[in-house]
């Protein structure tokens, strides 16, 4: 038995929550992974995992073994990374997750610069507005906007985006231009952005001279993906609140028109987030530093 490989395999099962996801992340057949973990259990003389047809549960002994060996794996990664940094360019694979409009309008247009600087780093880019399980989905980091609720994650602030309220000229010609946020309650159609976690609509938020207002009127249409949310506004389906960077081209071409400009919402923070217990590799570190360098100007007004 390759004990180090077996320990890494067991750790991935614990982190992923099941054998299928762990095997996929290790590019290993599920049957092989199961056999490796069984050999490790036989070597130790203890049961590390309780298996059923539906789930895998870590035993108390398995949890203790994972916590102790996780420190050893991090130390080994630290040693490997230190020598890799001395040798030169970072290399290997990065798995990154980012929201739809942020990928389209901010990250992907900037990526040629990163890939030119670090030609030996391969990127797998997951694009969606859904919440990602960084451990279970084997993601190195995510780029997300808004407040952070999960204290088990490490976050680095990388910029602030401007939110605007806008609609198509066709819509405004038909329903009129509201003069204040309260007028949104008077016959206007709102296209709300829906939380991918809860399915609830985010309220329309406004700020003027330090005073904050929220409008929670019922929406005519709700959308849970940022590119589709903007497309609904372009189609004349109603008023949206979206990021300036996402609407910039449509505003310039006249396809969308900003309204309620004196009541622009407060700036929206963006973070790059990664698990607290995951070792920050050389390639992840240079990616985070690069984001902090280029992201603020691209996401700003």
Confidence of residue 77 (pLDDT cuts 50, 70, 90): confident
Average of per-residue pLDDT across 192-211: 89
pLDDT tens across 83-142, in order? 655 566 788 888 899 999 999 999 999 999 999 999 999 999 999 888 777 666 678 899
Average of per-residue pLDDT across 219-232: 94
pLDDT number for residue 12: 87
Per-residue HEC secondary structure of the chain comes to CCHHHHHHHHHHHHHHCCHHHHHHHHCCCHHHHHHHHHHHHHHHCCCCEEECCCCEEECHHHHHHHHHHHHHHHHHHHHHHHHHHHHCCCCEEEEEEECHHHHHHHHHHHHHHHHHHCCCEEEEEEECCCCCCCCCCCCCEEEEECCCCCCCEEEEEEEEECEEEEECHHHHHHHCCCCCHHHHHCCCCEEEEECCCCCCECCEEEEECCEEEEECCCCCEEECCHHHHHHHHHCCCCEEEEEHHHHHHHHHHCCCEEECHHHCCCCEEEEEEEECCCCCCHHHHHHHHHHHHHHHHHHCC
Share of the chain above pLDDT 70, in %: 92
pTM above 0.85, yes or no: no
Look at residue 301 and tell me whether its pLDDT is greater than 80. no
pLDDT number for residue 81: 64
pLDDT tens across 19-56, in order? 888 888 788 899 999 999 999 999 999 999 998 767 78
């Amino acid at each position: 038995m390759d004990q180090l490989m077996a320990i890494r395999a067991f750790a991935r099962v614990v982190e992923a929550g099941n054998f299928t996801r762990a095997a996929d992340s290790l590019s290993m057949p599920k049957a092989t992974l199961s056999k490796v973990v069984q050999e490790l259990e036989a070597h130790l003389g203890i049961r590390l995992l309780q298996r059923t047809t539906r789930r895998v549960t870590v035993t108390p002994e398995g949890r203790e073994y994972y916590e102790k060996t996780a420190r050893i794996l991090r130390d080994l990664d630290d040693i490997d990374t230190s020598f890799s940094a001395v040798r030169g360019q970072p290399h290997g694979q990065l798995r990154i997750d980012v929201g739809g409009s942020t990928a389209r309008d901010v990250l992907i247009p900037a990526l040629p610069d990163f890939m030119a600087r670090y030609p030996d780093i391969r990127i797998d880019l997951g694009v969606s507005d859904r919440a990602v399980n960084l451990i279970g989905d084997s993601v190195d980091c995510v780029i997300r906007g808004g407040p952070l609720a999960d204290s088990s994650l490490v976050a680095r602030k990388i910029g602030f985006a401007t939110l605007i309220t806008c609609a198509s000229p066709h819509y405004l010609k038909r329903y009129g231009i509201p003069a204040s946020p309260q007028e949104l309650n008077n016959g206007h159609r709102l296209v709300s952005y829906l939380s991918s976690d809860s399915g609830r609509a985010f309220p329309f938020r406004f700020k003027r001279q330090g005073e904050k207002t929220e409008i929670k009127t019922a929406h005519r249409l709700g959308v849970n993906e940022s590119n589709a949310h903007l497309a609904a506004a372009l189609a004349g389906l109603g008023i949206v609140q979206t990021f300036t960077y996402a609407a910039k081209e449509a505003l310039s071409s006249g396809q969308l028109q900003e309204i309620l400009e004196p009541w622009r919402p407060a700036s929206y923070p963006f973070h790059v987030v990664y698990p607290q217990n995951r070792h920050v590799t050389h390639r992840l570190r240079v990616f985070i530093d690069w984001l902090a360098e280029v992201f603020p100007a691209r996401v700003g007004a």
